[in-house]
Amino acid sequence: MAKKGKGPMSAPGGRDANKFRRPKNTKATLLRVFSYMNEYRARMFLVVLGIVLSAGSNVFGTYMLKPVMNTLKEMVDLAAADASYTPHIENIVGYLVIMGLGYLVGVFGQYMYSRIMIDVSTGTLYKLRVDAFKCMQRLPIKYFDTHSNGEIMSRYTNDIDSMRELISQGIPQLINSTIRLTSIFVMMIIISPLLTLLTLVMLGIMLGVVKLLTSKSRLFFRRRQQALGAVNGYIEEMVEGQKVVKIFCHEDAVKGDFDELNEDVRKASLAANTWAIVMMPIMGNLSHLHYAATGVVGSILAINAIGNMDIGSLTTFLQYTRNFSMPITQLSQQFNSAMSALAGAERVFELMDGEPEPDEGDVTLVDVVWNEDGSLKESESRTGIWAWKVPTQDGFELVKVRGDVRLEHVTFGYEEEKTVLHDISLYAKPGQKIAFVGSTGAGKTTITNLLNRFYDIQSGEITFDGISIKRIKKADLRRSLSMVLQDTHLFTGTVMENIRYGKLDATDEEVIAAAKLANAHYFITHLPQGYNTILPADGANLSQGQRQLIAIARAAVADPPILILDEATSSIDTRTELHIERGMDSLMQGRTVFVIAHRLSTVRNSNAIMVLEHGRIIERGDHDELIRQQGKYYQLYMGIFELS
């Protein structure tokens, strides 16, 4: 279903998808697409050469009609004047052979540029996908909290696919039509400036029509892309939440919502395609009108021998007239596809231009060894001993990672006008186990999000081993932590690969040891292929408890100095939980551990328990102290109140 605090219809691209604006800067978007083709400049030269050959052969072949028609007319006139005259067909055949050779060169040119553009388009889209995915990795968690998965996926599928047609067909067609128009226009001026003036008048009318229609179609193609993104997002949410849908018998309601979104797609597609297809008949009829007018005027000029107009020139000019209209019609059609592609390209670039996660830190996490004098020395190999490498004026200082975590007067809200945590102060000494207890929305998970710097605090300070976490590079900060979330996520791959995700260079022996520590080894060995069993997306062939056991093993193999357990045993039965706790005691030995739990039995042995309510710590102490106080924790533990 939808993300917490946000219904499917409030996601970007929901029911109001049609209210988006036109592309902000079509020219800039097109230039940015071209920038991805820079490395293909040599090939693009060959593409242009092939297009010149193709377009040039067409213009040349048409021009050859003039000597053919004039020679044919001359032969007819001679035959009419002299009954004994024998026509010399070889003269016409010679012209036709030259014409055929010209068209053959054009066929070769067209094949050449079409084949090269396949490589250019696939390579360009490959680079675009790589860059988009790379940029997505730099986006903050906030971006994914405010954009549905389906909408993001739509940019990699629908939007990028629409660009494929632009690059492979639209751009070559644009170049081809431009060259053909220019060449034909020059030849038309040479043959008859007067008829060319008539062509310019009709051209002005056609361009006005194209401008009007494309301005309309551009808006609706943009709306269509947005509506498609909304539908994809909704489908993705419903696929993930099918169990919830069926549990609450919301099939009809879900179908109703989908029908509304699908109707938005239908309306946007209908409007976009209506403006697209109306272009063809309008432009076609204008070209027919142009052809007829040129024929009438040209015939008058030829009959009266005005402007050196003859039958061959008129025939050639009429063919140029038809050829002149064709590129304009093709360009008008390409404009529709181009608008769809540019609307998609803009959405992809919006993803790529998303504000990256800021990282002003200069402190890094390094492996170290102890010198004989008790000092630390940086090591290039993994030693299991970590230190913070803190830059100083004289170089750097190595501060051993101990797991001393402190929050001092921390105030935070996901939105500025809504504060979630109010003046929170707490500390965790190295090796301590700190538990957070409280109702849903009290701010427990928010604290762990801040420790990972998924979000930055508005005021106060958080330190690790005396170092402000704002000074620590985010990647290094997160390497020092390991989290087990309530909502586990497993990747498509083997069980071994999913556990090794916590430490990519872990050996098989280390993975198995971590699984044993998490009490997952037994059930894994009873899977069809054991550790080599393939898990589908999110481990659908495992129970929720088994997925959490693998997630715990993943955290164990990372061997971090700080461990965060966010309802890590919520989906595990009590008996299994006891086994896990015994293994977790070994894992937590010497580490700083933060535990979030509704099941209070899991926090009894914590060094300190923080009871949160409405973003404030209302009680703190160990289990015995809080029981003696007989406050909120006592009431929760005794079952007088229940967590919700």
CATH of the domain at 619: 3.40.50.300
d(CA 439, CA 643): 5
d(CA 482, CA 452): 10
Domain around 200: 8-16+25-352
Q: Are residue 415 and residue 339 in the same domain, yes or no?
A: no
Q: What is the dihedral of CA 453, 455, 459, 465, to 10 degrees?
A: -10
Q: Are residue 475 and residue 377 in the same domain, yes or no?
A: no
Residue 565 placed within a domain: yes
Q: Are residue 246 and residue 368 in the same domain, yes or no?
A: no
Q: SS3 for 220-265, per residue?
A: HHHHHHHHHHHHHHHHHHHHHCHHHHHHCCCHHHHHHHHHHHHHHH
d(CA 382, CA 238): 44
Q: Which of 219, 210, 227, 167 is nearest to 339 (CA)?
A: 219
Query: What is the predicted pLDDT for the residue at 8?
Result: 36
d(CA 636, CA 620): 14
The contacts of residue 544 (CB under 8 Å, 6+ apart) are: 488, 571
Q: Are residue 173 and residue 81 in the same domain, yes or no?
A: yes
d(CA 2, CA 10): 9
Q: Are residue 44 and residue 129 in the same domain, yes or no?
A: yes
Indicate the helix (H) or strand (E) that contains 387. strand 386-392
Q: Integer distance in angstroms from the first to the last C-alpha of the chain?
A: 20
Distance of CA 355 to the CA centre of its chain: 14
Structural domain total, the chain: 3
Provide the 10 A C-beta neighbour count for residue 369.
13
Residue 310 placed within a domain: yes
Instruction: List per-block mean pLDDT (blocks of 10 residues) for the chain, which spans 644 residues.
Output: 37 35 66 85 89 87 83 77 73 84 89 89 88 87 79 82 81 83 86 85 80 73 79 77 70 85 86 76 78 84 77 84 73 70 84 84 89 86 86 88 91 86 90 86 87 89 92 89 80 89 88 87 90 83 82 86 79 65 66 81 83 90 88 78 49
Q: Are residue 36 and residue 183 in the same domain, yes or no?
A: yes
Q: Are residue 208 and residue 306 in the same domain, yes or no?
A: yes
Query: What is the predicted pLDDT for the residue at 496?
Result: 93
Q: Are residue 171 and residue 242 in the same domain, yes or no?
A: yes
Residue 642 placed within a domain: no
d(CA 154, CA 344): 9
Q: Are residue 394 and residue 429 in the same domain, yes or no?
A: no
Strand, coil or helix: 604: coil
Residue 142 placed within a domain: yes
Residue 133 placed within a domain: yes
Residue 119 placed within a domain: yes
Q: SS3 for 410-453, per residue?
A: EEECCECCECCEEEEEEEECCCCEEEEEECCCCCHHHHHHHHCC
Query: What is the predicted pLDDT for the residue at 82?
Result: 74
Provide the pairing of β-strand 386-392 with 395-400. Answer: antiparallel
Q: Are residue 155 and residue 290 in the same domain, yes or no?
A: yes
Q: Are residue 380 and residue 415 in the same domain, yes or no?
A: no
Query: What is the predicted pLDDT for the residue at 272?
Result: 79
CATH number, residue 180: 1.20.1560.10
Q: Which of 213, 212, 189, 211 is nearest to 199 (CA)?
A: 189
Residue 235 placed within a domain: yes
Provide the 10 A C-beta neighbour count for residue 134.
10
Residue 357 placed within a domain: no
Query: What is the predicted pLDDT for the residue at 461?
Result: 93
Q: Are residue 67 and residue 179 in the same domain, yes or no?
A: yes
Q: Which of 126, 171, 138, 535 is nearest to 335 (CA)?
A: 171
Enter the tokens of residue 150.
């389906």
